[in-house]
Structure formats: structure tokens, C-alpha cells
């Protein structure tokens, strides 16, 4: 059953990507949420009845986001984290909202531990030259980090080398591949991002299974990549996994394994964000998933449903 889990009238509109960071030791779970206009990042904590802004370290009203030079307003659409324990957060962006009509298909890295009330990106990977041309508001809507351990265990194929993925080939890439989703085409692209030199290598491209993709979320406990579309696709979601079938022409590549219609109790909303809780949150065989809605229907932007715990795709 879908329920709202943010205080009424907290977000006027434009809340986009969300990412669930599980509790670690004494640290509570965090729901990170990014807003595209105005460009902001929110650190949300559960207070027993709703996800509310952290009141410490300057997070009370969210933090304004800027490019590395401290300027601009990134059209921030997706958010993810890498290795657990890292303070780095990554946002996928479509453009600079101050520059009309120009695509800027980038991944920005921010320091989530900064006490400043605004955040300038510590690094930008501008991927525009390596991706198909798209409309300025139809670009990188989604981002998810997928760890090397999963990719290697599944025999993931590095398309840039036409060989099995070898993490050692990519220096300083933060222990995984960053997958970004393009709203206009529904395509997903995987990049190894050099965190020292600033370069990048595209290692994969595949279809999300829908005509558009609004968010990507990798279930780190189960090993599924979720690709979610908004009201453009009637709120459909697809679950992807790497093909491990011996002799398959797509072995080592991500494939759609199962599709879902939107929850029956949720209208066809403009959901641009999706993430799931960890297995540690399971109750009676189910764990929470969260949707972020761009339109804040009836004054609410974040909703919760549930999915089965553990693997459910079969072999």
C-alpha cells in the first residue's frame, strides 16, 4: 500500500532523484534527495512518522548546488553514493539552468560532509561529447553506482575492450561503474570515472526497457538494477540483471529480467526518483521502496511502497 512519508507542503515541486543510505553502526539511515530547480541536495532522516531534513551541519533547508567554479545552477536529476562510508555524493545533471537550450550531460561529485550551506562540486565529468545528442531537458535523468565485486562475479563485459571487465584497467574509479540513464531515449550508459585525472571511459550501453528512464537504483544486497519511468510510461519499472547464460549472445550484458506496472494504489504520478531500503529493513518478507514525485501532488513528494526481500527473479 502506497503511503506519503514527507511532511505536507515541504517541496513545492521539482524533487527528483532519491538514494537510500542504510544505517551504519550508530549512524541512522539517510534518504538523500535532489531537487532540480532550485538545485538543492537534501539529507533526510526518519523521525518515526516522516522523512524530514537533518537539522545539523547546515542541512535544515537543503544545500544549494553549484558547478566546481562555484557558479551556475545544475539541473540536478539523479543522486547516488558509492562505497559505503564514503562522504562523496554524485548527481547526474542535464544542463545549467542559467544557460538556456544547452545540454550539459555531466556527473558532479559533492562532499556530503561539508558544513557549508551550499555545495560546489569537487569534480565534474562532462560526458556530453561521448553521448548521443538530446534535448536540453531530456538528458541524464538517472544515476546509480554498481560495485566492481558484483560486475566481476557476473562476468560483466567491458564494451570498450570487448572483454571481461577488469577493474585494474581503470585507475581511481571509486570501486565501481557509474550508470546513467537518458530520459529522451531510455538508454543506460556505464562509465568508469577517474577521480584523480578526471577522465572517463564508457564501458557499457543498453536499453532500460522503457521509452524513458527517470531513475536508476541498484539493490546492493540482492544485485538487481532497477530502471524506473514516470507518467510518460504509466509509472512502469524494469528490473535488470547481467546475463550469465553460457552461449548467450548477450552474456555479460545487462538485460531486462522482469517488468512491473506502477502500484495499484498510486495514481499515474510524475515520479522521477526511486530507491529501496536495505535487507536489514525487512519486515514480514518485505522492505520499503521510495518514490520522489516532481509535481508534489496534494502537497506530498515522497511516497513509500514495498517489494519482496531477497532474490525474486529465479535463475
Q: What are the phi and psi torsion angles at 297 (to 5°)?
A: -60, 130
User: What are 34's strand-pairing partners?
Assistant: 41
pLDDT range class, residue 101, cuts 50, 70, 90:
confident
Residues 6 or more apart whose CB falls under 8 angstroms from that of 108 comprise 65, 67, 68, 74, 76, 90, 91, 93, 121, 123, 124
CATH topology of domain 3-308: Tachylectin-2; Chain A (2.115.10)
User: Where do the structural domains in the chain lie, given as residue ranges?
Assistant: 3-308
Quick check: 153 and 104 in contact, CB under 8 A? no
Give the predicted TM-score (pTM) of the model. 0.97
Nine cell digits for residue 285: 518478507
- Give the per-residue pLDDT at 312: 87
Is 80 exceeded by the pLDDT of residue 314? no
Cα–Cα separations (whole angstroms), residue 101 to 48, 94, 96, 136: 43, 10, 9, 5
Residue-wise pLDDT for 160-216, tens only, equals: 999 999 999 999 999 999 999 999 999 999 999 999 999 999 999 999 999 999 999
CA angle, corner 217, sides to 299 and 247, nearest 5? Answer: 150
In percent, how much of the chain has pLDDT > 90? Answer: 95
Quick check: 211 and 229 in contact, CB under 8 A? yes
- Give the per-residue pLDDT at 315: 62
Q: How far apart are CA 164 and CA 217, in angstroms?
A: 23
Q: How far apart are CA 102 and CA 266, in angstroms?
A: 34
Mean predicted confidence (pLDDT) in 281-297: 97
Quick check: 288 and 9 in contact, CB under 8 A? no
- What totals of helices (H) and strands (E) does the chain contain, helices first? 1, 24
Q: How far apart are CA 95 and CA 103, in angstroms?
A: 5
Q: Which of 118, 86, 119, 69 is nearest to 19 (CA)?
A: 86
Amino acid at each position: 500500500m502506497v503511503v506519503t512519508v514527507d511532511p505536507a507542503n515541504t517541496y513545492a515541486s521539482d524533487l527528483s532523484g532519491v538514494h537510500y543510505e542504510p544505517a551504519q553502526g550508530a549512524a541512522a539511515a539517510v534518504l538523500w534527495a535532489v531537487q532540480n530547480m532550485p538545485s538543492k541536495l537534501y539529507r533526510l532522516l526518519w523521525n518515526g512518522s516522516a522523512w524530514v531534513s537533518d537539522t545539523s551541519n547546515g542541512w535544515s533547508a537543503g544545500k544549494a548546488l553549484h558547478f566546481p567554479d562555484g557558479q551556475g545552477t545544475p539541473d540536478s536529476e539523479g543522486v547516488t553514493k558509492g562505497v559505503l562510508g564514503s562522504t562523496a555524493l554524485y548527481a547526474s545533471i542535464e544542463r545549467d539552468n542559467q544557460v538556456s537550450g544547452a545540454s550539459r550531460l555531466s556527473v558532479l561529485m559533492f562532499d556530503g560532509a561539508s558544513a557549508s550551506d551550499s555545495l560546489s562540486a569537487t569534480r565534474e565529468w562532462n560526458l556530453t561529447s561521448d553521448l548521443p545528442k538530446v534535448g536540453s531537458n531530456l538528458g541524464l535523468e538517472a544515476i546509480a553506482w554498481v560495485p566492481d565485486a558484483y560486475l566481476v562475479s557476473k562476468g560483466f563485459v567491458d564494451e570498450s575492450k570487448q572483454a571481461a571487465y577488469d577493474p585494474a584497467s581503470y585507475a581511481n574509479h571509486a570501486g565501481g561503474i557509474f550508470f546513467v540513464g537518458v530520459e529522451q531515449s531510455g538508454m543506460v550508459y556505464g562509465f568508469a570515472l577517474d577521480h584523480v585525472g578526471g577522465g572517463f571511459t564508457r564501458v557499457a550501453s543498453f536499453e532500460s526497457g522503457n521509452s524513458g528512464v527517470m531513475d536508476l537504483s541498484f539493490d546492493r544486497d540482492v544485485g538487481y538494477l532497477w530502471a524506473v519511468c514516470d507518467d510518460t510510461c504509466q509509472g512502469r519499472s524494469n528490473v535488470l540483471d547481467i546475463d550469465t547464460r553460457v552461449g548467450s549472445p548477450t552474456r555479460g550484458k545487462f538485460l531486462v529480467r522482469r517488468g512491473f506496472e506502477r502500484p495499484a494504489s498510486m495514481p499515474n504520478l510524475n515520479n522521477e526518483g526511486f530507491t529501496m531500503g536495505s535487507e536489514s529493513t525487512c519486515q514480514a518478507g518485505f522492505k520499503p521502496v521510495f518514490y520522489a514525485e516532481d509535481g508534489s501532488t496534494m502537497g506530498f513528494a515522497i511516497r513509500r511502497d514495498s517489494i519482496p526481500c531477497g532474490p525474486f527473479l529465479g535463475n
